[in-house]
Amino acid sequence: LEDDAVDVLCRDLMPLCRLVTPNLIELARLVGSEPAKDEEGACVQGEDLSATVRTAVLVKGGHAHGDHANDLLMQPDRRAVRVEAPRVHGGMRGTGCVLSSAIAASLAQGLPLEAAVRGAKTYVLELLRGAR
């Protein structure tokens, strides 16, 4: 994305959202930085984006290294929440879209945000396990 497109996203679109779900690479672009090297760095970047756009941010950890694909949920004026899951190895594509759709469906059913995120993460994990 061009710099002005990132500015428009952060200024005009994201504040209208209930939740934004960048992966580590997308998050770095949105905050104008290099991708975080560890979970602490991802948390700092996610909190920065959440404060800037004044909405919740779920930093997806699928691009991180290690045996776990942990996500971080940041909400303005709240502590970050880690949503843990073991990494399922394989060349899976589209899992972020499935996760976002499952969260949206849960929110539409009236679930609180953290419960919607945790349920969606479990749902995607089960799909991935079944696809191996």
- The domain segmentation of the chain, as residue ranges, is 3-131
Q: What is the pLDDT along the chain (132 residues), one digit of tens a residue?
A: 788 899 999 999 999 999 999 999 999 999 999 999 999 999 999 999 999 999 999 998 755 566 667 899 999 888 999 998 767 766 666 677 899 999 999 999 999 999 999 999 999 888 877 765
Contact yes or no for 18/104 (Cβ under 8 A): no
Beta bridge partners of 115: none
Give the CATH superfamily of 3-131. Ribokinase (3.40.1190.20)
For the chain, the straight-line distance linking the first and the last C-alpha, in angstroms and rounded, comes to 33
pTM of the model: 0.88
